[in-house]
Every structure is written in structure tokens, then in C-alpha cells.
Structure 1
Amino acid sequence: MIPWAEPAAAHGSIVDPAARNYGCWLRWGHDHLNPNMANQDPMCWQAWRDNPNAMWNWNGLYRDNVRGNHQAAVPNGQLCSGGNTENGRYRSMDTVGNWQATDIGSNFTVRLYDQASHGADYFRIYVTRQGFDPTRQSLNWSDLELVRETGRYAPAQNISINVNTQGRSGRHIVYTVWQASHMDQTYYFCSDVNFR
């Protein structure tokens, strides 16, 4: 079940494994002033303190007019914020630390909730290389390996993409690039995972 929000604009996000800001909204949106968050979920705590709108607008982490040149639009160290898109609203997503991670296996499914049913020209799904430590290292393009690239998806609210990997264990980041179909609008998502 997808929780509903009232963000300023309806777009979408990776809901499983949850993108960082979606996960923070899912866990704390109903209780975001709770001081216990500081100890229970410190990465979300710093994100809420930096800019609560990054979580209220969990479905707006995108850039327009990238023209497929993702590495030029999104610099190293800023991959989780989409290159500090939206005037830096999502910059706290780039903060290095122990983000809550979703346990997954070598074969897993990435699920997008596309609230506005934009559809997709393609998805590119990357996973960090074995040995990368997301709790201590900022994310660079060279840390990623492309594990799945799709073709087009018709407009729908729920899209599932099966991903097959091998040779990974422990903490990683699943990085998803979603090129929407309705215009040149690209979404960038960091999902923290733990390969079992």
C-alpha cells in the first residue's frame, strides 16, 4: 500500500527499496517533530532539520532538460540530490552516513510509484561496486555499475523492474535514473540496501 501525501506537485519516487527522502517521509512524516528521531534514525533527523520540504516533496527530486547527459548535469558527490536540484532542496540526501537500509537478495525488484503516470523512456539501475562503503564515502559515478537498463514504459502509477545482480554482499546503494516520457524530465534516486 502506498501512503498518500499532499506535495506541491505530483510526480513519483522509488518506493522499494525506498529512496532516501521517501523512506524518511514514510517513517517520520506523521511524527517528524519527535526528538527520538535523532537517535533512532539520525540520517533522517539531519535531513528533516536541513529542509523538511525534501521529505514533503518526496516525489519531486528531478531535473528538467538534461538531454540524457546525466554525468554532466549531476556532479560527483551530488548524485543523491540530483545535482542539488530544486535550489538545493535535496542536498541532505548526499550526506554520508548510516542511512536505514532495506535487506535485499541478489535478485530484487525496484518499484516506482509514479503518482502522475508520466511513463518512462527508460530506467537505468545501478548498484555500487563491491567494496564501496556508503556509510563513509560520498557517491561518485565511478562507484556505480549499470545492472539494468530498460526500454519504454506506458503511463502507469505502479511500475516494477526486476534486477539481477551477483557478487555483492553488505551495504550498497541502488541508484535509479528515471527518464520520464511526458517531457525531458529526469529523476535520480539513492536507495540504501543491504545484500543478504
Structure 2
Amino acid sequence: MICHDRINLRGWTTRLGGVFVAAVLCLLPWTGTAEAHGSVVDPASRNYGCWLRWGSDFQNPAMAQEDPMCWQAWQADPNAMWNWNGLYRNESAGNFPAVVPDGQLCSGGRTEGGRYNALDTVGAWQATDITDDFTVRLEDQASHGADYFRVYVTEQGFDPTAQPLTWGALDLVAETGRYGPSTSYEIPVSTSGYTGRHVVYTIWQASHMDQTYFLCSDVNFG
């Protein structure tokens, strides 16, 4: 069973009832994500966080009030959460602004046929509390390895709850060398001068081919 099969169950909701759908979903194996790739799990990327908080209860209308940015993302395309580890582009050739325009950084330039477009929606996404010195942790289910990671933080004064994310708003705070194949990676980051709400933007250049992951994590410094 793959993620697309799981999401086809959405159409059953009106015919068979939400309770039955929820029961079926609970019985399905989670092989959809296991067959894919990876993402930042701490501080959680937008769609990983939505899957983590609501994957077992994604039809709960309470999400609209408790977690409205995740709610709009689930409504736009549940596959963006089930496939939290598939937000990548191939053949970028390192020229990222050319393929990922301003305002589309969190969706990887509307990659995968627009599956992740809702992640670009401006608003108060749930944020992870961090300090000046923090660690970006990634999960790599396919053990691709990395040519490098680049970690950015939005500049002080930029408001991600009210402004679309742009390349010009990003400060590079960490850049690594090569990582060998593994199921997890850690990138230590040391910063100063950041307070309040920000986006941590991670670029993961995989080693197995020209495949690049573009990952937005909402954070709160201090």
C-alpha cells in the first residue's frame, strides 16, 4: 500500500462515513513514508510537524482552530503530509533561485506537481522553541548521504507570519561538507542576535544523484 492508495480513501468519507475511514487508515501499514526519502525532524519541517501532530487524527475539525496552518495544508493536499519525506527537486544543478522562486521556498518551487504548495502559505505555523545554539536533525530513510547541507535563518526583523519567504531574507548560518550514507544526520548550528519568530531553512543536497531537499522549519528563538 502506498501513500496515493491511502489518500484515495478520502473519497469514501461521504459514502461510508468518517469513522469507518479513520478505522481503515489505522489498519494500513505506514509503508508510504518508509519507501521515500527524508526531511528535517527537529526542528520539525512544516509538513513533518503536521503529520506528527495530526497524522492519526487528520479529520478532526478541532485542527482548524488549534493548528490552522496545518489544517489548510491537510485540506489542500493530504499527500503533502503523508509524503513528508518527498519534498525535493531533481536536476537543480545548484542554481536554486532559478528553480525555486521567491515565495515558493517552502514548497521547493512547487515541486511534485504542486503537492506541497500549501507549505508556502503565510501565517502563524506552529513553531519549535530553540536557543542560539541548536542542532538540525534530519531523517534519511533511504540513506542517500549528502554532498552538503546548508542551514539558513531568516534575518532579524523578517516576520514569517506576515511575509512570504524570499532568498534575500535568509542568513546562511551553517554549511557542511559531505556526509556518508546514514539514516540520520545532525548539523550543529551556532547563532547570535536572533529573537522571536523565524524560519530555519535547510537545503540538503543528496549524494546519490542531483536531488535537493528544501525544508522550512518554524522556530522561536529565546
Task: Select the residue among 185, 188, 191 that pairs with 2:214.
Answer: 188
Distance in 1 between the 2:178 and 2:134 partners? 20
Give the ranges of 4+ consecutive aligned residues of structure 1 lying more than 3 Å apart after TM superposition.
none
Task: Select the residue among 167, 171, 177 that pairs with 2:197.
Answer: 171
Q: Which residue of 2 aligns with 1:7?
A: 32
TM-score computed with the length of structure 2 as normaliser: 0.86
Q: Is 2:144 aligned against 1:118?
A: yes
Distance change in 2, residues 1:5/1:170 (3 Å):
farther
Larger Rg: 2
Unaligned runs of 5+ in 2: 1-28
Unaligned runs of 5+ in 1: none
Task: Select the residue among 135, 143, 156 that pairs with 2:169.
Answer: 143
TM-score computed with the length of structure 1 as normaliser: 0.97
Task: Tell me if the contact between 1:5 and 1:56 (Cα under 8 Å) persists in the aligned partners.
Answer: no
Distance in 2 between the 1:7 and 1:142 partners? 35
Q: Which residue of 2 aligns with 1:84?
A: 110
Higher relative contact order (CA 8 A, sep 6+): 1
Task: Select the residue among 51, 55, 69 that pairs with 2:77.
Answer: 51
Distance in 2 between the 1:155 and 1:49 partners? 35
Task: Tell me if the contact between 1:80 and 1:189 (Cα under 8 Å) persists in the aligned partners.
Answer: yes
Distance in 2 between the 1:158 and 1:145 partners? 24
Q: What amino acid is the match of 1:67?
A: A
Structure 1 residue 10, shift from structure 2 partner: 1.4
Q: Which residue of 1 aligns with 2:88?
A: 62
How many pairs does the alignment contain? 193
Distance in 1 between the 2:31 and 2:57 partners? 16
Greater percentage in helix: 2
Q: Is 2:97 aligned against 1:105?
A: no
Distance in 1 between the 2:202 and 2:104 partners? 14
Deviations 1:35-70 (A, max 9, x none): 000000000000000000000000000000001111
Q: What amino acid is the match of 1:184?
A: D
Task: Select the residue among 28, 40, 50 that pairs with 2:66.
Answer: 40
